[in-house]
Structure 1
């Protein structure tokens, strides 16, 4: 029974609420006044600025040639209800960093964008490094596929858009110049030529069937080919062939003739060639952008040495928010000036991508970009970098190909995202979930894996924002149970996962997932129910994926812990497809972890990893040299020290640890 307030108490409550609102408004006004005062004191120097909201979250990172003019322009007019107006109204504080040049501002701005992930910046994330073709320094250099940090003692060509492009180039060089591809350990222990020599893909320097000078000449010619000097190389080979023929050295002339023929065939097989004499031999990146449906795609096509190596599509986040902000940073710019979203996306990609990747001297772009951006990029690269819009001849063909690729890639992405959202909606409806925003629907799925009770591991995979979130996956080593007891393993993993989380849920500082899937039927669901009851958690979150009749795929049923009847989704159900995807991912993640743990236990690899100074690379070299941990244990100190990267002191430490 509620008790009504007296008129005096009601009036007092209204007065208190009004005072609280007035106090909040006064504090906000004081904060905005302090912010404007700080803006007024900014220097007219190049720098980077960062906007934060009242909770400390980063809203936007920008650069300016003139900090005072640029930052002031955000606060000198009313932006209304636009996205930029929403951002400006949320700014509670800012930070600025003064730099010496605009190039330094460009570098700092995009490093901060990648590190802070601001809400109103367009952000490109590319966790995959680009591969290179590597010529490893050696008396007889070898060709290799390489991905990682560049070491100056070797020669690198690229980057290439894909591993396939690198491997295709290696195959071409094998056909024409017959350079070796074997590891140095194999090369040093050959007593007779391998199969590659028999099929004319290698000149067998390992057994001395080619001289140092001739092999060095082949390496030099391969480098010229990769730099795009194909015609010059052909002319030189023709001259050398004629010189040998005139000197009656017909065998050498025949070898060069065969090389010329192979090189000619390779050049004729190229589907895309650089025909323009003005740009022959130059490296070019072709950039095409397409924006549609709130998403964007930048398609990057790489041309190296006149050869089109393929393309790769990049998809940024925060497109709708970031694309509304002005792209230029010159003095007097109006931040609300309409800038096409394609230009904004393209400039964000150029600025962020080429800070970490090699930039060629020439870019071909589908939309014009700011000259100041290219100038800053040139300073950062150490040489002139130009951007060509509306190209002609062959470059026009390349750009058209890149634009078509961007359109197709974006269409696939939009179709895929539409399908993913449809599956999420179907599952939410099948489970009767009341989720306000499907983008926030979170599902955690658990699976147990072992081999006859050995190396038991549990996995937890996460589905959120309509896709699997691999960065949030977790594995749990299960110990202290009877080998093969899957129920005890499930009890342990759920207790460890939700024990502390339950305390946060009770305190209102943490959030449970919307669905907890367990791979199993009533037995596993009952175990999950016991854990949730002990922790005081909602039983309606638990669902088990039970195999259907005959354990056939498509006949799975969902079993619930709160007493609801089983649900059969149907073999062609979008909801079942999503459940199967999540369940299969949990199984894959669990079984790969279990196999790695089992292999470590059986080989004793952990015995090596536990030795200070022995990391994964040194451990791999030791196991490769001696055939396993037993062989390493039987090796003498001198033998251990002969392995690359193993010093005498470390060899003695390994010997003591294994004896």
Structure 2
């Protein structure tokens, strides 16, 4: 932490970080000369930017970067994909010193509806001005493939490259292919489908790409539930991911729209003391600049007056000569060769709304900086993230995790580890010997241990956890839930199961598991709990197994009883320790006669081998 403490300016930067929104967006670091030195994207702006200042960076270049940061600015967008595209635009424009130059837009995939008879629909990375319809670019290849697969599943559109002109079809140049026999195409190549009928499919696809995807999502939800009912959980999860992608999909992105070029966007938000004006610069359909300023009111100026001042000030400062300005109302200023647009619908309206959201976030930051200089403790941030990701009703300050250990039913034990405030509380760890279950039955063992644990806590009046984690899938989770229900705790403590294979998170009564991103703090905390329970349980199982072997071996020696075995175990710790002990060492513990019996026995045992 000496690195952080040595840089006093970091305290002011932390004050900025506290007020950052948790939305997706792009952040920019500026040096003492107000030059951009780094641009980055984030799914969660606050969490990502805070990571630079929470600990000393391991990378040398990152340490140098953090030392040079003097202020932080950001732009809020709708989605993580939008953030990626905006980051790309800003890096190409400013080429910050600490950024790697990103690929050009042509590296992103598009979906094209080909300008031809019986149009094909496919993925491409080349934008050709040939009259075809292009949708994108998309930052996710998975999104593109999902849409293409959906189109081919829902509509029998062709995939061949045949020139299906009316003349070629009439001359019988083509023959139906395997796709027709599989039901994936209606063979327009042989005239078995009219172009008007085919065009209905294309119109549906265009509507989906424009964002009218409600019917598709409903279809996928029905399919997902059917898979879940049939216990096809992997297929259900795949459909679930498609629904997630489609729900966040917008074919006409507010970040990239090729139809909007060289346009300025202004929005204003004011209160009694100040006015906040946001500016966005759009070139070639992409946002390349963003800036927000604050005017302190002196004479209760109107929003129209302040917006007019800001338009002239910002355009002069940023040297903008855009012939069109998008804004919420007509200002008290006239600019030569400039058209003012007050959009009501469409893409320009979306750009104005995006500018207005950035203005609101900027104002909220200012208010938070004035009223709240205290940073939320890191462990509270972590637990709030867990509560949100796992949809918990209470903050999980106290979490307990259970794990079973046995080898083909031998020496069955269980472990319970306890985390408080996101950290292990080792004094509260507990081991359990399985008492009522015979043979390898993890489900019954889990039910016994959970019942014993919380029955005792109820009897002692101990505080119960807010979350229980079960190391296992639906079976172990169901058994643990049975135990809680017997104690009337089923609706008082949240409980989940984590399966090892794909790190699925199971909830009681929900057949479809939750999949958390592998890099989320929530999944990492759950994995830490699971791994700690496994380690603690295995160590107990190993000790018990070792002691079992020790006892079973010494029981065969004449004259050695339980008290003698206990004395030997306390002194020599293990069976090998007893075997390697000298006669005098054994005599000191059990006397000469028993020492001779032990050495004779192990001498015979070695001779047999």
TM range (shorter): 0.3 to 0.5
Q: TM-score with structure 1 length normalisation?
A: 0.30
Asked which structure has the greater CA Rg, the reply is 2
Q: TM-score with structure 2 length normalisation?
A: 0.32
